Structure 1
Amino acid sequence: MKTRTLIPKIKHVVSDARIAWNVLNGVFAVYKPPAVTYLNTRDTIIYRLCEDLNSMQVRPPIQHVCIEGDTTEKMEVVTHPSYADHPLVVGPRYQLKDFKLICANYLNTNSSGLMICGINDSTKLIHKLKASKPPSSYKVKGILGQATDNYFKTGKIVERSTYKYIKRDVIDRMCASMQAAHQRKMFEVSGIDIQSQAAYEFAVKGLMRPANNDIPMVYSIKCVDFTSPEFTLEIVAINENEMYLKTLVHDLGIQLHSVATCTQILCFRYALFNLDLALLPKHWELQNILDNIEQCHDILNQNRSLLKQKNPILTKQNN
């Protein structure tokens, strides 16, 4: 594994692979397309970084020193590139196994949108970011009148229902009711009376976070677009996953006395980062990622408190 040293930020195009490798250490944002797995996204990024680094000026082979000549006379010291260190023998200077890359907000196959990644030594920063439990914001699209076996448009339709009687104001009321129910349930799970002084003190401190990472919590759910039978929900939550978001759409359909299926899940904000920062797949190149790392670290430097947040965490109270 190659070593990395911290060097000042660069403001120009990098042409030396060794310099690029040293600064390839930070947090950056990418756009994950739908119907693409996280592992495929990760492998594609690393593969392109390898290609870009190996196409640049790389370290020359080390010199092999040998002594030549007749042993009965004055001998000569000769140096030449070592074949044991030549790229044609040992392979490219930079290989897939040299990279470490993880993401803070894991997106499943059917989900798309913003994904915050940490590369090489900055994987530690990603762990700190995840530990701060920042909320994620999604735009979730659905369609009324049909239900599938996997709660998503790719599944087999198992039920159809009428939907023309459903109006925008009804969806708004149901969303407000679902939001209140989720937050009330969080207090109940934690053993805190929502009408108590303790509940008020938790609320004024900021976003409440469940101690158990397996418990999803919805902070906000509202309808931002409705063109029957299609609708779009804007959801802010933590500890969520793709199936949980699909289930919210399914439950909404039931509460509307109909059925509904999720058709799209788009993550447009995570912590301090939004979708405007995300690199499209066609821009997953070394120079673009280095520039994006600089942008993301400027955001983190301006908001250092993000990684030190001590927001209230709801735990089970003793009776």
Structure 2
Amino acid sequence: MKTTRAHPVPDPGSHLLELKHVVKHFDISGGLLDQLRFESGRLTRQRTTVKAVNDVSFAIAPGETFSVVGESGCGKSTLARTTIGIYPPNHGQILYREERIDNKSAQAMLPFRRRMQMIFQDPYASLNPRKTVRQTLEEPVVFHNPAISTDQVEARVAEVMSQVGVDPKWVGRYPHEFSGGQRQRISIARALMVDPEFIVADEPVSALDVSIQAQILNLLMEAQEERGLTYMFITHDLSVVQHISTRVAVMYLGTLCELSPAQTLFESPRHPYTQALLSAIPRLGQKRSRHVRLKGEVPTPIHLPRGCVFHGRCVHANRRCEEDVPKARTVEGDVQVACHGVEEGRL
């Protein structure tokens, strides 16, 4: 793997994409009969809601790699799919180059679909097994450029396949004829076919071997340098985050706990949950374990705790943490933390 690069912190005044108080909940109540309950001798109707993303706000500047990390089930992938427009938010706004896009119709979103692309976690599931590589890569180009000639499309397919390290002679093959790493390269090629500005990468290397992960990460970084891409990178692998990120957002139970430049986050994490995450990274030469042990169990997103969602596992929690929801506040430079303990100076 290449050496970690120093990423300049972007100008906070220039935003490619911005989320303002975005909320995404899912109603999993089922049918009417599933919602009926007997309580105290009375028949009542109860709805069950998964609170996947709760009041999340941040902005991404052109050219940066904005990573979102957290435990499985914390809402990272839901946030990614809401950002790209696969899921509509229940509340809040999503702006692309200062234009609101979350309330646009499917037709009005077409110009933005070309500028915003997504790379999914499982390349085999995201590629149509009945389509050859040629059909998979040609489809988005022809859809967004109806007047393009066949020769231009073929040249474009060969160019992008070469760029991602897949032999253009293999355009007639199907997804099952490739390895996992090759399939992910094809998924990246599909995203690059329409010359996007912004790519959401949802765990793009988690299903791959370590050696292949390094190849795919280097490919993404090279594509960013060559094309001026902006990434929103979803992952739970902190070594990957440290390697590629400009800034890092830490999520817990659908809530943004900390937002910080990558170097600052790894050198001096402020939120207790971030400190616990980073303490779990094995370090060579470290004689004593500095792992922060959290108490309790992870609550369910169906029944979120009152106050700070992390207070039940936090050793620094007090009465205020149990009752009031902390707001994200800027504490040092570009670091934002949602924690009463940090605000009060206890941490």
- Higher relative contact order structure (alpha carbons within 8 Å, sequence separation ≥ 6): 1
Question: Which protein is bigger by CA-based radius of gyration?
Answer: 1
When the two structures are superposed, what TM-score results if normalisation uses the length of structure 1?
0.27
When the two structures are superposed, what TM-score results if normalisation uses the length of structure 2?
0.25
